[in-house]
Amino acid sequence: MARAAKEVNEAKLNASAPSLLLSLKPKSRAAGAKLFGQSWLPKGAPRAIILLAHGYAEHLGRYEHVAKTFTDAGLAVYALDHWGHGRSDGARGFVPHFSVFLDGMAALLDVVQHRHPKTPRILLGHSMGGLIAAHHLLEHQSAYCAAILSGPAVQPGTPPSAATQIIGRLLSAIAPHMGLITLEADAVSRDPQVVADYMADPLVYHGKMSARLASEMLRAMMEIQEKAVAIHCPLLVVHGSLDRLAAASGGAALVQAVSSSDKEFRALNGLYHEVFNEPEREAVLAGVLSWIDARIS
């Protein structure tokens, strides 16, 4: 698997400047791409560091309120816009290979290890970011004391037929940029203001997911289902029971499959896909924070 470089714009890596700029190493399938990152720091030394992987089509800026919850509790948060997302380089709705997302997370981990070498680290991934985080753990779980996945895209909300999968792989090979899938904006949250903000956000991609990205995600889903047993760190999965974008059964199956002795699946009754953006967000985040506190105490 291609690995990320520890090539970072050091001028921007200081406590007073929250922005990060990461560059992917020549071995990456997106060599030289620049990825935009952000850090949110608490007052005083952080008790732990959260590394956050956002979902498909969105960007790290949508997690400002999540970061505030954690920084108010003495935790630092580091995140990046994945390749092809937000302020990062890359074609929207496309990826040359799923490993490019993993390259970005490895680069972010390098930054955190450099800046906070002795502080406990926790991995947090939402939706496609949950899928990315699960794969990231396969190679880097020794760097984390725990992991949390929110609505992880381990199984699609509507499983494609065998014929659709074959056609998708063919299009990925011969027409990789062809648009295939558009997400339902009103499936992200039951809060109409969240949906309106999502639709109006210029950094959110509202076009179709390409054949290549759809194929790469489906392949990554099947691969993590096969390799989940290799994950043994403490794991919490939270999933809205009415999630139409990522099947809650996938999150439950992932928790069942991992080898962790400390693992939990929380089905949040009546919630949609973005559990941190639902009307119950404060209670959901409080529950996650309580779980984190128990693992870093």
Residues with catalytic roles: 127, 243, 273
How far is residue 67's CA from residue 256's CA, in Å, rounded to a whole number?
29
Rg (the chain; Cα; Å)? 18
Among 62, 59, 139, 60, which Cα is nearest to 99's? Answer: 139
